[in-house]
Every structure is written in C-alpha cells, then in structure tokens.
Amino acid sequence: MGLRIYAVLYLIFLYAPIALLPIFAFNDGTIIAFPLRGFTTEWFRQLTEIPALHGAVLNSLIIAVSSAVIATLLGICAARAATRFVFPGKKGIMGLIMLPLVLPEIIVAVSLLVVLLQLGLPLGAWTVVLGHVLICVPFSVAILNSAFQSLDVSLEEAAIDLGETRWSSFRLITLPLVMPGIISSLLISFTISLDEFIIAFFLTGTDPTLPVYLWGQLRFPQKIPVVMALGTLLVLASVILLAVAEYVRRRGAARTGQRDTGGLM
C-alpha cells in the first residue's frame, strides 16, 4: 500500500509539469498562472511565423537524424562484437561504451568543449552530433545487445552452409532479424538528440538547436505561451516516437516467435 502511494506521488511529481504544458499552450493569456482565461490556438499559429524557430527546427532535425544513424551503426558493431566474439578486455570496453549513461551530461559537454577548443576545431552542427552520438550509443548498444543476444549463432552459419557468403548471410538473415532493434535504436537516439539541451548548448556554434533556441526565448515573458505550445508539440512528438519504437520492437519479436527479452521499456 505504501509503495502504491509512493508510486502515485512519484508519477504526479514527474508528469505534472508536463501536463501544465498543453494547459497553458491553449490558454488565452500571456501570464502563466491560474485561473485559466479561455481557449485559443493563437500560440500555435504564431509558431508558424518565426523564421529563426524554423531554422532551429531544421538544424535539430539534421543533427538528430545524423546522431541516430551514426549511433545506431556504432551500436550494431558493438552489439555484434559483444554477443558473438570472446576477446580480451571485452568487459572493460563494454563498460567504457556504456559510461556516458551514468556520466552527468554537463561533464560530457564541458570535457568535449575543452578538447575541441584545445584542438582549435570550430564549433557547429557536427560537434553537437559528436556529443549526441556519445550519449546515444549506450542506449543503442543496450537495445541492440538484446536483439543480437536472442539470435541463434548457428543461423548465419546455416546460411553460409547453404552457399551464402559471410556478408550476404548477415544481410539475409541477421539484419532482418535485428531490424526491429535497429529501428527502435534509431527512433530512441533521434528522440534523445532532439530533446537534448546541455551538450547542444555548449557545443552548438552560431546555429542553435531547438532546445537551445527555446531556452533563449524564455527571457521574453510575452513569448512564454509560444514556448509552451512548442513544448507541447515536442512532448507529443517524443511520446509518439518512443511508442512507435517499442511497438516495432515487440512486433518484430512476436513475428519471429522470439521470447520478449525486454528492451529499454
């Protein structure tokens, strides 16, 4: 019983602020306070009229797609190596890959910044991608590890035995079987990158990402409802992406009759 009360309180504490977003996004008033003043879609309309915002959205999308693709490719290599081969120092290497999961993002951000400045490299979209790949890879590896682990090692050998090459048996057998994991990893990495603020804040050059742009707008009180509207859309997009990711993973597991090994969620 005590545990249930705790769980309910925890969920309220966690999600109440997010519930406030749509409430004020549709509230007809510039001041974020109760009582509500009436219903409006004005703030959403205003969103469509800010070129700087559109630039930030485009920038964020490019960064998120690049980070997702790179992190997932690296994740595939790491997960395959981890589940298929025995090599010295495997535990240590895997631990190192998973490290950013528990490292405060600010530390990742600052240390990357220091290194980049030391090397005299210019900041820009690619440096943000670099940082995001670093924090996305652990998620990608975790998801893909479970996808690769549920594969019978003999499957690829059976394909080779039937005349295929190493690469074609990977493409024909392994790839389709881990595809749900790959899609899941792409979507989750994309979402992480899209929402990420601290690394983007430190490493972005002159073109801000969406969260960085949003943060900039908070200085202007009259723009807060617009920010709320934008936040509502972001939350909606994130929830949809994560739900799709989990759906794809589960459906893939069911279709091939594999045991659900429990992915990220």
Partner 1 sequence: MKDTTGIDRPIIALQGVEKYYGDYQALRGITADIGAGEFFSLLGPSGCGKTTLLRTIAGFEAPSAGRLSIDGRDMSRVPANRRPTNMVFQSYAIFPHLSVAENVGFGLRRSALSKEENSRRVGEALEMVGLGGYGSRAAHALSGGQRQRVALARALILKPKVLLLDEPLSALDRKLRETMQMELRKLQRQVGITFVLVTHDQEEALIMSDRIAVMFDGQIAQLDDPQTLYRRPVSRQVADFIGVMNFLPAQAEAQEGRQVAVTIPGLGRAEIDAEQVPGGLHPGQAASVGIRPETMSILFAGEETERRVAQATVEDLAYYGDMTYYTVRMRGVDAPLTISMKNLVGRPVLARGTETRVAWDARSLVLFA
Closest CB 154 distance from partner 1, rounded Å:
4
End-to-end CA distance of the chain: 24
Q: In whole angstroms, how close is the CB of 72 to partner 1 at the nearest point? A: 20
Nearer to partner 1, 78 or 173 (CB): 173
Contacts with partner 1 by CB under 8 A lie at 152, 154-155, 157-165, 173, 176-177, 255-258
Nearest to 199 by CA among 104, 69, 117, 59: 104
* Closer by beta carbon to partner 1, 176 or else 205: 176
Q: Can you tell me which residue has the tokens 């989990």? A: 246
DSSP symbol at 173? I
Task: State the minimum distance, in angstroms, from the CB of residue 88 to partner 1.
Answer: 12
> Which is nearer to partner 1, 34 or 167 (by Cβ)?
167
For residues 41 and 149, which CB has a smaller minimum distance to partner 1 in the complex? 149
CB of 209 vs partner 1, minimal distance in Å: 38
| HSE toward the beta carbon, residue 133, CA cutoff 13 A | 18
CB nearer to partner 1: give 35 or 88.
88
* CB 83, min distance to partner 1, A: 15
Maximum pairwise Cα distance, the chain: 72
Angstrom distances, CA of residue 162 to CA of 156, 166, 169, 171, 230: 10, 11, 10, 14, 54
Return d(Cα 162, Cα 212) in angstroms, integer: 54
| Residue 21, token pair as written in the block | 């977003």
User: Which residue's CB is nearer to partner 1, number 149 or number 256?
Assistant: 256
CB 74, CB 89: distance < 8 Å: no
**Nearest distance, CB of residue 241 and partner 1, angstroms:** 25
Rounded to 5 degrees, what angle do the CA atoms 163, 168, 174 make? Answer: 110
Q: Residue 177 — φ and ψ, nearest 5°?
A: -75, -30
